[in-house]
Structure 1
Amino acid sequence: MANFLETDRLVLRAFTAADTDHLLALDSDPEVMRFINGGRPTSRQAIETRVLPRLLHDHPCWGARGYRAALEKTTGTFLGWFEFRPLEEHSPAVVELGYRLNRAAWGRGYATEGSRALIRKGFTDLRVERVTANTMAVNTGSRRVMEKSGLSFLRSFTGDWPEAIGGSEHGEVEYELTREVWARAR
């Protein structure tokens, strides 16, 4: 299977059903899931019936997936995943950037490295016009990755979530980067 993208330290490739155990381990870490669902693990059944089908979905505008497994380039170690998916199935104009990495990968620059590479590929090869990303307002680590990747704060908002988790009372934030701003900064 061909890799979607490589950086100095990362390989981003399509997910397969063989990644189930990697995803289960990732989503079983309470710290990884802290800003997603308050730290609850995801069951194997949920990985197999909900998570993996979402990660395997091909978007018609690209004929490709919007989620990629992230591997450490020299060892092949599974680090987590990156999301770079169109918000509308048939238009690549606006994509959402996201990432979920295991704790061993935190603080090592992988999230920024992968995000920058995806943004560059989106603007140069995939007809992307705008990249957006969001997180809980209190998720300072993720916000810093967005900023280091070139995105700028756009707005604060309050999501309508089925259940509150720690920090959700502070709301969410959205960041963005347009092709025009990215090209000027190069």
Structure 2
Amino acid sequence: MTAFRLRTDRLALRRFSPADLPAVTALCGDPEVMRYIDDGRPVPPDRVADEVLPGLLREYAELPDGLGCWALEAEGRFLGWAALRPPSSVGLAGPELAAGSLELGYRLLPAARGRGYATGAAAALVGAAFAELRAERVVATTMTVNAASRRVLERVGLRRVRTFFLDWPDPIPGSEHGDVVHALTRAEWATAAP
């Protein structure tokens, strides 16, 4: 992972390790963090230990260098994570799944929100996706009602391309408004880059 730079002026983005189990458990177990993700419920600690963290660690071996989920830290404090992976979220289709597309995602602890950390991490990963990993498109999904996440995506250049609606088996509040797909192509990024 030496060629892939994972740093901003304010953040260090580093690989997870088994020692991060308490931090990942706290992140995935926080009701505010999980409010708009998956089924909207905190992930039980045993599932984090048995599935979530092992899955994150496995990605480093299975995905090309530079892809996966990265722990976000500032001044030695764990803030959350940011991820850049092959697209796999429910609702992605067509060009979002085309070869050369990467999916951006992030989760921050409530105490780290509103300080620009998600935007900084997302901007770093979008830049790396195009400049270093040679992606053709970066995509992301979020619930329509998740205004904070939509703002982060817009700040880093992704634009809303469509809204989709799914029949969830156990809908969470706000799902009636659908989910949105945001995207940015390499050409759009190159035109907007300073």
Q: TM-score, normalised by structure 2?
A: 0.86
Q: Which moved more, 1:122-131 or 1:37-46?
A: 37-46
Q: 2:34 — aligned with what?
A: 33
In structure 1, distance between residues paired with 2:158 and 2:29: 29
Q: Deviations over 1:65-112 (max 9, x none)?
A: 41111111xx21000000111238xx9711110100001110001111
Aligned to 1:68: 70
Preserved contact between residue 37 and residue 165 of structure 1 (Cα < 8 Å): no
The 3 A distance-change label for structure 1 pair 39 and 86 is closer
Equivalent residues, number: 182
Aligned to 1:116: 123
Q: CA deviation at 1:159?
A: 2.8
Aligned residue for 1:148?
155
What RMSD in Å do the two structures reach over aligned CA positions?
Answer: 2.1
- Say which structure, 1 or 2, has more relative contact order (CA 8 Å, 6+ apart): 2
Which residue of structure 1 lines up, in the alignment, with residue 132 of structure 2?
Answer: 125
Point out the more displaced range, 48-57 or 128-137: 48-57
**Which amino acid in the other structure matches residue 70 of structure 2?**
R
After superposition, the Cα gap between the structure-2 partners of 1:18 and 1:92, relative to the gap in structure 1 and judged at 3 Å, is farther
Runs of at least 5 residues in structure 1 that lack an aligned partner in the other structure: none
- Kindly indicate whether the alpha-carbon contact (under 8 Å) linking 2:141 and 2:179 is maintained by their aligned counterparts in 1: yes
Q: Given the two structures, how large is their TM-score scaled by the length of structure 1?
A: 0.90
Which residue matches 1:58?
60
Q: Does the aligned pair in 2 maintain the 1:62–1:92 contact within 8 Å?
A: no
Partners of 1:42 and 1:124 lie apart in 2 by 35
Over the matched positions of the two proteins, sequence identity in percent amounts to 49
Per-residue deviation at 1:160?
A: 4.0
Which residue pairs with 2:43 in the alignment?
42
Structure 2 vs 1, CA of residues 17 and 162 (structure 1 numbering), >3 Å: closer, same or farther? farther
1:121–1:160 distance in 2 versus 1, CA, 3 Å = same
Which structure features the higher share of strand residues? 1
Structure 2 residue runs without a partner (length 5+): 89-97
